[in-house]
Chains A and B, each alone.
Chain A
Amino acid sequence: EAGVVQSPRYKIIEKKQPVAFWCNPISGHNTLYWYRQNLGQGPELLIRYENEEAVDDSQLPKDRFSAERLKGVDSTLKIQPAELGDSAVYLCASSPILDGKFSTDTQYFGPGTRLTVL
């Protein structure tokens, strides 16, 4: 079974430029997450999708960040314009449909996109 796919793996841009990250979740997983991980810290949730709907975007900086999940499968996270402080690893994760048991809701992570803003 293929895991969560993310691209690109690395991206270097100058500040004020736009950037986009793409994620393809595991087939059949209806929940998709975007996390940001700063150096030396654990990942922090940015947004969570249930199918096409963003059900938790409270931590997404909406002035410059946007995300979409068309057709409830692939997702794109965009930053426009990027700032120096946006340098981080952006992780995508997915989880399967609950089968009535909370304990089975395990998240599967992709390798992440390392963004460097100069």
Chain B
Amino acid sequence: DAKTTQPPSMDCAEGRAANLPCNHSTISGNEYVYWYRQIHSQGPQYIIHGLKNNETNEMASLIITEDRKSSTLILPHATLRDTAVYYCIVRSRSGSARQLTFGSGTQLTVLP
């Protein structure tokens, strides 16, 4: 699986958009980009995933660059409850395809 690089921490003002970057320059053509988050003392929670096209759901938007070497998770209106560690994961379709390989993630702190 391709490795990802994320900033260790970010702050965001409540009500503003939170933009979390992720670099995955070695991603291969059939690998998806997944985002999970982990609120303190809870298990990770799925947010969104994508392959090539931008994706949006009720939680967030995922913007993947045309060359697929990086992506950005956007929380359009961050709230205090969005404070969590956000993990960007690139996942292979073959072999241990169901394994999620977590890095250290980005600690997002939403400030009042």
A residues with CB within 8 A of B: 4, 31, 33, 40-45, 48, 56, 91, 93, 95, 102-103, 105-112
Contact = CB atoms under 8 A, between A and B. Distances in A.
A42 B46 contact: no
Interface of B: 32, 41-46, 49, 51, 87, 93, 96-105
B51 A45 contact: no
A104 to B, nearest CB: 10
A91 B98 contact: no
Contacts of A103: 32, 49, 51
Interface of A is mostly: mixed
A10 to B, nearest CB: 10
Contact of B100 (A41, A107, A110): A107
A42 B103 contact: yes
Given A110-B43, A111-B41, A56 B87 contact: no
12 contacts: A31-B98, A41-B102, A41-B104, A42-B102, A44-B102, A45-B101, A93-B44, A95-B98, A105-B97, A106-B46, A110-B43, A111-B41
A106 B105 CA distance: 18
Contacts of B43: 4, 91, 93, 109-112
Nearest to B48: A106
Given A106-B46, A111-B41, A111-B43, A45 B99 contact: yes
Contact of A40 (B98, B99, B104): B104
B71 to A, nearest CB: 15
